[in-house]
Amino acid sequence: MKFKLSLIAAMLAVATLTACGGGSDPAPAAPTVFSPATLSTNDTLVGSGAIAVPGKTVKVHYTGYLYNTTVASFKGTQFETSIGGVPYQYLVGKTGAGGVIAGFDQGVTGMKVGGKRTVMIPASLAYGATASAKIPANSGLVFDLELVEVQ
């Protein structure tokens, strides 16, 4: 009888502790990030207009995605787009503060107006170890670009 009472008391104690949940939530898992080894470009449509070269101001429509090796196109979560809005304007060759990330600039350089290009950018030419808005640290990026104008 004593044994049954001890067993019931132990089971009650375990059930009570289990219901408490332990007191704290586990830390959220870090997002899985992917990055290509090098920058690569693929022209889906070669333009016929002026060429984007350093020192020229360009207007570009773009859609940015997180690079993801588990998706056939490597285009993971979309984080930003200018489609349906105003094309992004910047000075080719100006990266960093007041400019664009190096991989974006390298991807635009050499395009002709009317051209469309997909650029895969390693984290080292994007935001590196720094997270930025919807982009986790050390993430590679994919941009679909359309060169609208060279001034």
In a domain, 10, yes or no: no
Distances (CA, A) of 112 to 49, 96, 132, 142: 5, 23, 29, 19
- The pLDDT profile of the chain, 151 residues, written as one tens digit per residue, is 454 445 444 444 545 544 555 556 666 666 788 999 999 999 999 999 999 999 999 999 999 999 999 999 999 999 999 999 999 999 999 887 778 999 999 999 999 999 999 999 999 999 999 998 899 999 999 999 999 999 9
Return the half-sphere exposure (C-beta side, CA atoms, 13 A cut-off) of residue 42: 9
In a domain, 14, yes or no: no
In a domain, 73, yes or no: yes
Q: How far is residue 135's CA from residue 64's CA, in Å, rounded to a whole number? A: 10
In a domain, 23, yes or no: no
**DSSP H stretches of helix in 56-137:** 102-108
In a domain, 25, yes or no: no
Residue 28: its pLDDT value, please? 66
Q: Identify the CA nearest to 84 among candidates 61, 66, 105.
A: 61
In a domain, 35, yes or no: no
Residues 6+ apart with CB under 8 A from 3: none
- The count of domains in the chain is 1
- Considering the entire predicted model, what is its pTM? 0.79
CATH number at residue 68: 3.10.50.40
Q: Identify the CA nearest to 90 among candidates 75, 78, 107.
A: 107
In a domain, 31, yes or no: no
Q: Residue 123: phi, psi to the nearest 5?
A: -55, -35
In a domain, 8, yes or no: no
Q: Domain range spanning residue 133?
A: 40-150
